Amino acid sequence: MKSIRKEIGSEAGAAVPASVHTRETAAAPAARTRETAPAPALKREYHGFGPVYDGHSRILILGSFPSVKSRTVNFYYGHPQNRFWPVLAAVFGEAVPDEIDAKRAFVLRHGIALWDVLESCEIRGSSDASIRGAVPVEIGTVTGAGRIRTIFVNGGTAKKYYDRYLKALTGSEAVQLPSTSPANAAWSMDRLLSVWKPAILGALEGREL
């Protein structure tokens, strides 16, 4: 490669068209702008909507903190690319619920409670990795009211904050399921279902996981 570069350099004395310099010069500021654009600032956000549960709930599925889209629609897993609702529907062999009321009725009908680990935090957009100043939910609101016998967490971030803030309060180990987030692209729908289905159905039937 050294000889090749030397040969190219030896020919570099040829005149370079001015238009080439102009294009390169014009492109440079734009490239620098893209590289130095500041990341969104951390902002204190609040959960904004409560847990879904009733006296018949037997399992609790916890996320970490709602995404921007979920905070906008005021319900769980509102991002259209999140696989949570398609996976859960496939677990029970049903159509994917589309409206919020239908989603709420769906989980309650199957004995499932939904909530998140964090009530508020500083966060950049929907980035779990940016979370600072986390404040956990009052988990006893759900665990003290229903017949919860298994707690699941949707992904590694939810597990991290559950173990940090809630495990001592519930006295229960949470079962970590692979994240349904679109960021977890390595897990296909079929692969997610191969883990979620036996875990959810087994817990509802009272089997040890």
Which among 106, 89, 205, 192 has a CA at the least distance from the CA of 149? 205
Distance of CA 66 to the CA centre of its chain: 8
Backbone angles phi, psi at 69, to 5 degrees: -65, -40
pLDDT at 13: 42
Please give the CATH architecture assigned to the domain spanning 43-204: 3-Layer(aba) Sandwich (3.40)
pLDDT tens figures, 7-54: 333 333 444 444 444 444 444 445 444 555 666 788 888 898 999 999
- Distance between CA atoms of residues 105 and 15, nearest Å: 73
- Distance between CA atoms of residues 183 and 51, nearest Å: 24
Structure tokens at 131: 């979370």
Whole-prediction pTM: 0.79
Distance of CA 83 to the CA centre of its chain: 10
Dihedral over alpha carbons 125, 128, 134, 136 (to 10 degrees):
110
From first to last of its 209 residues, what are the pLDDT tens digits of the chain? 443 333 333 333 444 444 444 444 444 445 444 555 666 788 888 898 999 999 999 999 999 989 888 988 999 999 999 999 999 999 999 999 999 999 999 999 999 999 999 998 888 877 778 888 899 999 999 998 868 999 999 999 999 999 999 999 999 999 999 999 999 999 999 999 999 999 999 999 986 55
